Amino acid sequence: MPAKKKTTTKKVIKKTTKYITKKNVEVKKKSSAKKKQPVKKIAKKKVAKKVLKKVVKKIVTPKAPKIKKVIVPQEFKAGENIVYPTHGVGRILTIEKFRYDLVEEQLYVIQFFQDKLTIRVPFAKAKLIGLRNITSKPSMTRTLSVLKQKPKIKKAMWSRRAQEYDQKINSGDIKLLSEVVRDLFRKDDQTEQSYSERQMFQVAFERYTREFAISTSLKFEEASTKILEILNKR
């Protein structure tokens, strides 16, 4: 009986030692696994940060495109009277800035007396369309000598002459305009004019008279009377 007890105690000791060693191994594995986990997490965080940086770089909102400013010297001032060839005498009301398609430029806001019209002309196109100052007083008085001459009427059909008169009226040249006034004026005792002739004369006469009035510092009615007196004395 005592021999059996010894063998069992030895077996028990062996089993316990094995069990303890197994436990230690498992504990060590678990501890090593636990220690390794934070390393993986740190590595993942670093990768995530790099990815975020790349994404942020890609998603960065682009800079607003620069607006191109068209810089052209200002030739006329607000409140100044000017001549626009196709509309006649006008006044610059103000200067405005206008922006379109990332381009910014300045405009003349012009009001016309004859047509009761307001238009906007960019600084860059002022020369191209023939925008000019009012004719000086000496140059304007010289055009009166043209009005004193006898009318020069060509022996061509009215449609052809009307085309030439229209070109002269819209040329912006005060001398050519005075020629139209001279050629289309008719006295009361002269032959009657067609409706289109009278209309064309009225346009030319009013444009010429308005510029003459401003140039000589007269009222429109006074300038009109003076010009009609010159035309009737021919």
CATH number at residue 103: 2.40.10.170
pLDDT tens digits, 67-118:
777 788 899 999 999 999 999 999 999 999 988 778 889 999 999 977 779 9
Residue 104 shares a structural domain with residue 72? yes
Kindly state whether residue 53 falls inside one of the protein's structural domains: yes
Residue 120 shares a structural domain with residue 77? yes
Kindly state whether residue 116 falls inside one of the protein's structural domains: yes
Number of structural domains found in the chain: 3
pLDDT above 80: residue 5: no
pLDDT tens digits, 58-78:
555 667 677 777 788 899 999
Q: How far apart are CA 154 and CA 132, in angstroms?
A: 30
Kindly state whether residue 5 falls inside one of the protein's structural domains: no
Q: What's the rounded mean pLDDT across residues 185-202?
A: 87
- Tokens representing 35 are 């220690």
Question: Contact at 8 Å (CB) between 201 and 194?
Answer: no
Can you give the CATH number for the domain in which 171 is found? 1.20.58.1290
- Domain of residue 153 covers 137-232
Q: Which of 115, 133, 151 is a domain's end point? A: 133
Residue 119 shares a structural domain with residue 174? no
Residue 143 shares a structural domain with residue 185? yes
Q: Which of 108, 133, 158 is a domain's end point? A: 133
State whether residue 69 is helix, strand or coil: strand
- Give me the DSSP letters along 135-194: PPHHHHHHHHHHHTSPP---SS-HHHHHHHHHHHHTT--HHHHHHHHHHH---TTSPPPP
Residue 212 shares a structural domain with residue 155? yes
Kindly state whether residue 96 falls inside one of the protein's structural domains: yes
Residue 56 shares a structural domain with residue 31? yes
Indicate the pTM of the whole model: 0.70
State whether residue 107 is helix, strand or coil: strand
